[in-house]
Amino acid sequence: MTQIPYKGTAQAVTDLLSGRVQMMFTPLLPVLQQLQAGRLRALAVTSRNHSRIMPELPTVQEAGVPGYEFVGWYVILAPAATPKTVLRKLNAEVGQADH
């Protein structure tokens, strides 16, 4: 495989759909609509556990790569001068997003 760095998911998906690239690693949500429409096919999830969104997908480990696990994470940023009350509200809302 050859890594092709993209500045964002949109151009990578466009190139995947057009056949310019043959595969990509991406978070599930940005491509969910393409998957549901049958334009893309998910092969596996990189986490240790199945996806709650598409539980039928095998993990990479189940697909034949022993010990494989990769879980991405995101950082939520705000300007340094953001009031603490706003930061507390954001923190509470973000904390509820996974539930």
Q: Determine if the pTM surpasses 0.85.
A: no
Q: How many residues does the chain have?
A: 99
Q: What pLDDT, in 10s, does the model give residues 12-71?
A: 999 999 999 999 999 888 999 999 999 999 999 999 999 999 999 999 999 999 999 998
Confidence band for 98, pLDDT divided at 50, 70 and 90? low
Q: What is the pLDDT of residues 83-97, one digit of tens each?
A: 999 999 999 998 887
Per the CB < 8 A criterion, the answer to whether 27 and 72 are in contact is yes
**Following DSSP, what letter does each residue of 17-43 receive, concatenated?**
HHTSSS-----SGGGHHHHHTTSS---
DSSP-derived 3-state class of residue 93 = helix
Fold of 9-73: D-Maltodextrin-Binding Protein; domain 2 (3.40.190)
Alpha-helical regions (H) of 1-99: 9-18, 32-36, 84-96
Q: Who's near 11: CB < 8 A, 6+ residues apart?
A: none
Read off the pLDDT band of 1 (50, 70, 90).
confident
- Sketch the domain layout of the chain as residue ranges: 9-73
